[in-house]
Amino acid sequence: MPQRSPINFQDLYHAFDAPVTAIDCGLKCAPHNPAGIPYCCDICCAVPVAYRLEWQHLQRHTDLWHAWQGDECKSEESNRSQLLEQTPPHLCLLACKGPAHCEREHRSVSCRQFPFYPYLTSDYRFIGLTYDWEFSNRCWVISNLSMVTAAFRQEFVATFDRIFETWLEDMDSYIELSGETREHYRAIHRRIPLLHRDGKDYLVSPLSERLYRTTAEHFPRFAPYTAPLSNPE
């Protein structure tokens, strides 16, 4: 059987370019970050990853990125060996020049998807996206899921459908992460917020995996973003 062709990342980036929200969400969270920049762009808070073939693509097209060394965060020491050990072998850790030098057309998939990741059921169905709960008190988007655009949701699903068709190891990583997600929400006795691939919003029981229909306006909000949503303008 012929081997699948590698993903064309230029095409993938073009197809996954919709903003998460219609407003610049970085302006919402940056004032709460002592570093004064969006949390998702702060190497002290989140180290970006890239698929190894994606990293090769980026090296050919931009000097925005370099391989993460572990000394980029000046405010605290990074456990380089531990983070490298936790990184799946088909991924690599990167660092960029920072938000002031961002080249949006050369953002990695991990930058484009933040703060979300694909959620898969225990029987391996990719049914939608949920968020990284470790950023609940940092990322403004997590407390304002009703602001996530339909275009972003559609492009997210289409992108990971394509990736999973090509790299089963990536699907395996998210199957494992989704299992950890169910364990986390079981432990805190909460249901999992889900932006479903059908365009609707649900809460997922971490025990039975039953879906409960809701609206994004009713998803939990977290400090410091608990105030009622104001006019986005």
Map out the domains of the chain as residue ranges. 9-37+107-218
Query: Which range among 4-18, 24-38, 197-211 shows the weakest confidence by mean pLDDT?
Result: 4-18
Q: What is the largest CA-CA distance in the chain?
A: 56
What's the pLDDT at 229? 60
What is the reported pLDDT for 149? 98
Q: Which has the higher per-residue pLDDT, 182 or 76?
A: 182
Task: Please tell me the pTM assigned to this model.
Answer: 0.92
* Distance from C-alpha of 177 to C-alpha of 172, rounded to nearest angstrom: 9
Stretch among 5-9, 93-97, 162-166 having the lowest mean pLDDT: 5-9
Residue 230 in this model has a pLDDT that exceeds 80: no
Q: What is the pLDDT of residue 231?
A: 44
Higher pLDDT residue, 5 or 214? Answer: 214
Report the pLDDT averaged over residues 186-197: 98
CB atoms within 10 A of CB 122: 10
Mean predicted confidence (pLDDT) in 8-32 = 97
The pLDDT mean for the chain works out to: 93
Three state DSSP letters for 102-166: CCHHHCCHHHHHCCEEEEECCCCCEEEEEECHHHCCCCCHHHCHHHECHHHHHHHHHHHHHHHHH
pLDDT at position 67 is 96
| Residue located via tokens 């370019």 | 17
- What percentage of residues in the chain have a pLDDT greater than 70? 95
Write down the pLDDT at residue 75. Answer: 80
C-alpha–C-alpha distance, residues 127 and 197, integer Å: 6
Stretch among 18-27, 83-92, 126-135 having the lowest mean pLDDT: 83-92
Name which residue leads in pLDDT, 51 or 6: 51
**Mean of pLDDT values over 74-98:** 88
Q: Across residues 101-112, what is the average pLDDT? A: 97
Stretch 25-33: mean pLDDT, rounded?
A: 96
Q: What number is the average pLDDT over the span 173-191?
A: 98
Instruction: State the pLDDT at residue 63.
Output: 97
For residue 78, is pLDDT > 90?
Answer: no
Give the number of other CB atoms < 10 A from CB of residue 208.
7
At residue 202, does pLDDT exceed 90? yes
pLDDT of residue 77: 75
pLDDT at 195: 98
